[in-house]
Each structure stands twice: as structure tokens, then as C-alpha cells.
């Protein structure tokens, strides 16, 4: 088994998510259901597709960016 590549880039806590996959998830067929939580904000949602998972994560990261660089 290949060893994971170690990157020494900065990993930010506000970019941390926990993804829990339901027992019925079958990644090989594209079936994905579960729960995702943004650890810093504690916001969470259930998802029933990869698209829904990515939408939530994108929204949370956009909020993080807005908080760091508020518009003038």
C-alpha cells in the first residue's frame, strides 16, 4: 500500500469538517448519504448526495473568507 504524501502546508482549523457516512452509503455506485459538520461554527446538515455535501462545505468556507476579509 502506498504511503500518504505529507504536505507541510498550513491546515486551518476553520477549514475542518467531520463527515459521517451512513451505513448504506455505496461510494462505488455514487450513493452517498450522511451528516457533515463544520467544526468551528458547529453548523451541521444531513446530505443525500456528493453535490449537497460540497454545497454545504462551499457555503461554510465562503463564510470563513467573508469573516476574514469583510467588504468595505
User: What's the pLDDT tens digit per position in 9-66?
Assistant: 787 888 999 999 999 999 999 899 999 999 999 999 999 999 999 999 999 999 988 8
Q: Is residue 6 part of a domain?
A: no
In a domain, 4, yes or no: no
How much is the pLDDT for 56? 97
Q: What is the pTM of this model?
A: 0.77
> Is 54 part of any domain?
yes
Q: Any residues with CB less than 8 A from the CB of 36 and at least 6 apart, and which?
A: 17, 18, 19, 20, 44, 45, 47, 53, 56, 57
Is 37 contained in some domain? yes
30 — alpha (psi -120 to 50), left (phi > 0) or beta?
left
Provide the 3-class DSSP secondary structure of residue 48: coil
Q: Is residue 31 part of a domain?
A: yes
> How many domains in the chain?
1
Amino acid at each position: 500500500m502506498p504511503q500518504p504524501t505529507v504536505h507541510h502546508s498550513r491546515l486551518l482549523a476553520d477549514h475542518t469538517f467531520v463527515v459521517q457516512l451512513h451505513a448504506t452509503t455505496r461510494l462505488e455506485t455514487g450513493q452517498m448519504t450522511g451528516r457533515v459538520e463544520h467544526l468551528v461554527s458547529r453548523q451541521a446538515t444531513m446530505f443525500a448526495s456528493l453535490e449537497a455535501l460540497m454545497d454545504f462545505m462551499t457555503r461554510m468556507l465562503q463564510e470563513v473568507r467573508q469573516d476574514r476579509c469583510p467588504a468595505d
